[in-house]
Amino acid sequence: MKREVRLTRKERRKIKLQQIKEKKHRKVRFFEKSSFWIIVAVAVIFVGLIGWFLWDQQTISFAETLKYPQLREKYIEQIVKKVGKPDYITVIEYGEPKELEKKYNYHFKPDDFMTAIHKIPPLTEYGKKEVPISICVFPPSFDKKFLKTEGDFISSLLHEYRHAEIFQKGEIEGKSGATIMFSAFLTEGGRFNKNLLDDVLELDAVKMELLRPISKEYHISREDRYLLYYTQIWDHSEEMNPEFIKFLKIEFFENWMLKHPDLIKEKQEGKEIWYFKHPRTAREYYLPEEIIRRFSLRQGSKPLVFILIELKKGNF
């Protein structure tokens, strides 16, 4: 038989007070325990944030990107922050040519290390509306064969920026101030000669590169590249208007070319003849008479004052 224990009022109160005290104590213990873990979590998050911030702030050098391919994307971001980016360049991304070819449905040249690409609008639409450009950067940008320093990398990126700028305008400015519209690159049969336009776009962009201070090894190859694209104008002589081809040869002849070792100056039957002789193929690229006349006059009988006036006007 169960025996009922009767408690006095005082005892009941005592028990109640005891229970309240215990409950409070449990709560405090729980709070102590959980506050410990909260502090740990906050500390971990804090340390993580500091680490992430420091990592994010860390400057990656060009040399590091050669060793660690995983740093290249971040390096490109860092350079873009430094040099800026026009709005019409939608993305600058790093990847293998095969992956990016699939993504953009575009065929890259085997020696490409950086390329500006866009969907080609009809010729007449160039310069009328924005042409969104993507710049693709490939692993050979970081193999040191071509680009030796950060300055070289930036200069190449700016080379692509220049293409992007020209794609917006739909025209190229020659050194005489003449505007060469993209629509001028139609063959006599009415076909768009994209290869010739590409050569002229390269001349335009490499000309800008020549003005930038970059490493010496690169400097030599820029001049050779310029000369390569320049002499490629001759390859288009058959299908294009001969006057346009002659005009391009004159417009893109640069002063420094006068001193190039491949430029041969000869007198044939009393007439002065200038041509570039390819060092390997020995092919000869004859320069239009207008170039010879302009430069031999200045080198020869022109009075100094006249030359200075021309210098001031930028008539080259």
- Binding residues for Zn ion, per CB under 5 A? 202, 205
Give the shortest CB-162-to-Zn ion separation in angstroms.
8
Task: Return the number of the residue (60 or 158) whose C-beta is nearest Zn ion.
Answer: 158
For 225, counting Cβ atoms within 10 Å of its Cβ (0-12 exposed, 13-18 middle, 19+ buried), the class is: middle
Task: Return the number of the residue (64 or 112) whose C-beta is nearest Zn ion.
Answer: 112
The sign one gets for the Cα dihedral 54, 60, 64, 68 is positive
Give the shortest CB-134-to-Zn ion separation in angstroms.
14
Give the span between the Cα atoms of 123 and 193, in whole angstroms: 11
Q: CA-CA distances (angstroms) from residue 6 to 9, 14, 46, 221?
A: 9, 14, 58, 106
CB 78 within 8 A of CB 60: yes
Give the shortest CB-92-to-Zn ion separation in angstroms.
15
Contacts of 214 (CB under 8 A, 6+ apart): 149, 151, 152, 155, 222
For 157, counting Cβ atoms within 10 Å of its Cβ (0-12 exposed, 13-18 middle, 19+ buried), the class is: buried
Give the pairing of strands 271-277 and 263-268. Answer: antiparallel
Task: Return the number of the residue (150 or 202) whose C-beta is nearest Zn ion.
Answer: 202
Task: Return the number of the residue (202 or 251) whose C-beta is nearest Zn ion.
Answer: 202
Task: Return the number of the residue (232 or 296) whose C-beta is nearest Zn ion.
Answer: 232
CB 288 within 8 A of CB 296: no
CB 252 within 8 A of CB 227: no
Task: Return the number of the residue (185 or 274) whose C-beta is nearest Zn ion.
Answer: 185
Residue 76, token pair as written in the block: 């490109």
Give the shortest CB-232-to-Zn ion separation in angstroms.
13
For 172, counting Cβ atoms within 10 Å of its Cβ (0-12 exposed, 13-18 middle, 19+ buried), the class is: buried
Give the shortest CB-114-to-Zn ion separation in angstroms.
8
Give the shortest CB-204-to-Zn ion separation in angstroms.
9
Contacts of 129 (CB under 8 A, 6+ apart): 121
Residue type, position 260, single letter: H
Give the shortest CB-215-to-Zn ion separation in angstroms.
19
Give the span between the Cα atoms of 104 and 134, in whole angstroms: 9
Give the shortest CB-233-to-Zn ion separation in angstroms.
16
Task: Return the number of the residue (223 or 310) whose C-beta is nearest Zn ion.
Answer: 223
Task: Return the number of the residue (150 or 160) whose C-beta is nearest Zn ion.
Answer: 160
